Amino acid sequence: MLRPLASTFLAADYPNLLVGLAAPDDAAVYRLNAEQAIIATTDFFPPVVDEPYPYGAIAAANALSDVYAMGGEPLLALNLLAVPDDMPAELVSEILRGGAEKVREAGAVIAGGHTVTDKEPKYGLAVIGLVHPDRLLTKGGARPGDRLLLTKPLGTGTITTANKQGKAEAAHVEAAITSMLRLNRAASRAAQAAHAHALTDVTGYSFLGHAHELAYLSQVKLRIAWEALPWLPGAHRYAEKWIFPGGAGRNAEFYKPWVTFERALAEWEQHLLFDPQTSGGLLMAVPPEQVETALAELRAAGEAGWVIGSVESGGGEIVVG
């Protein structure tokens, strides 16, 4: 779909567009001057939970995450909302309230937006952030010897799908919601403090999908330790019952050619690594001598982090051992 547009805007014609037309990343970045660059991103999706307030807050946290994944701080956001004609006004207000309060928690402001009618509700944000050009973090920059850190447990896709099917325990859903509601602000600041070489967030393309993007754009190999990966409670139970969102199959079909499973994993365990995540954590490549700095920064902010692998010489492949 995009190939016919490839020659419309050429990266060489826009030297101040630091990220956007060349290598793909989590957001576009435009340099204003020697000390300021604007980050621009957008994201929206249908409900992942039943209640309108947490849905709005999760959608907002997910959209804000792209700014944090570039090493920046959000400044302002615009609502993007699609609602059915017959949706009660109080439910729409709760979606917007959830988003607004999450944006306020991030230290930013909602300054307007746009609404359309649709058969299915959809909500998200267009977000503008700010970063120093020299502090910009992208997916392409990981170096052999780096350690890989992940800042949120995995499994939101299978848990929210089990919830939609009426098969999830309330405690498991609550833990997933709590994780999805958490901003990646502290994780982004930890990456900056640890002088991370590469950074991305783990969302709809799955853990292995986003890991491949980091590996490919950095032209390195990632070695992932299965036993070190953190999981939300219930994720293994529902995955073993093969409860996955449709995106998991699409992710697996596209990204599996770059993945080698050196560890003998069940089919559901492999598939779980392609589970689409909503408002997932940040995946960062950190110099080995800076790992404790990153973890200490996370702990100081009341957040967690896990060392889940390492970076080797390569060209975009991933080894799960």
Q: CA gyration radius for the chain?
A: 19
Which residue do the tokens 């309330």 mark? 170
pLDDT in tens, 205-233: 999 999 999 999 999 999 999 999 999 99
Q: Diameter of the chain by CA atoms?
A: 57
User: For residue 138, which phi and psi values (nearest 5 degrees)?
Assistant: -125, 180
DSSP state of 290: G
Q: How confident is residue 2, by pLDDT bands cut at 50, 70 and 90? A: confident
CA nearest 78: which of 121, 43, 35, 54?
A: 43
User: What is the fold of 3-134?
Assistant: 60s Ribosomal Protein L30; Chain: A; (3.30.1330)
Other CB atoms within 10 Å distance of the CB of residue 20: 16
Residues 188/111, Cβ–Cβ less than 8 Å: no
Token digits of residue 44: 């929206």
Residue 161 near residue 262 (C-beta atoms within 8 A) = no
How far is 136 from 191, CA to CA, in rounded Å? 11
pLDDT band at 107 (very low <50, low <70, confident <90, very high): very high
How far is residue 161's CA from residue 168's CA, in Å, rounded to a whole number? 8
Q: Report the C-alpha gap between 228 and 274 in whole angstroms.
A: 17
Tokens 């992208």 locate to 138
Contact 226, 211 (CB under 8 A): no
CATH number 3.90.650.10 is the correct assignment for the domain at 138-320:
yes
Backbone angles phi, psi at 164, to 5 degrees: -65, -30
* pTM exceeds 0.95 for this model: yes
Could you tell me the pLDDT band of residue 23, with boundaries at 50, 70 and 90? confident
Dist CA 55 CA 164 (whole Å):
13
Q: Is the dihedral of CA 219, 279, 206, 228 positive or negative?
A: positive
Give the mean pLDDT of 138-162: 98
Taking all residues of the chain, what is their mean pLDDT, rounded to a whole number? 97
List CB contacts of 300: < 8 A, sequence separation 6 or more: none
Q: In the chain, which ranges are E strands?
A: 17-19, 28-31, 37-45, 73-83, 109-117, 122-131, 147-150, 198-201, 220-224, 259-261, 282-286, 306-313, 318-320
pLDDT tens digit sequence for 239-290: 999 999 999 999 999 999 999 999 999 999 999 999 999 999 999 999 999 9
Burial classification of residue 106, based on how many CB atoms lie within 10 Å of its CB (0-12 exposed, 13-18 middle, 19 or more buried): buried
Q: Where are the domains of the chain?
A: 3-134, 138-320
Edge-first strand order for the sheet with 28-31 is 17-19, 28-31, 37-45, 122-131, 73-83, 109-117
Q: What are phi and psi of 10, to 5 degrees?
A: -105, 135
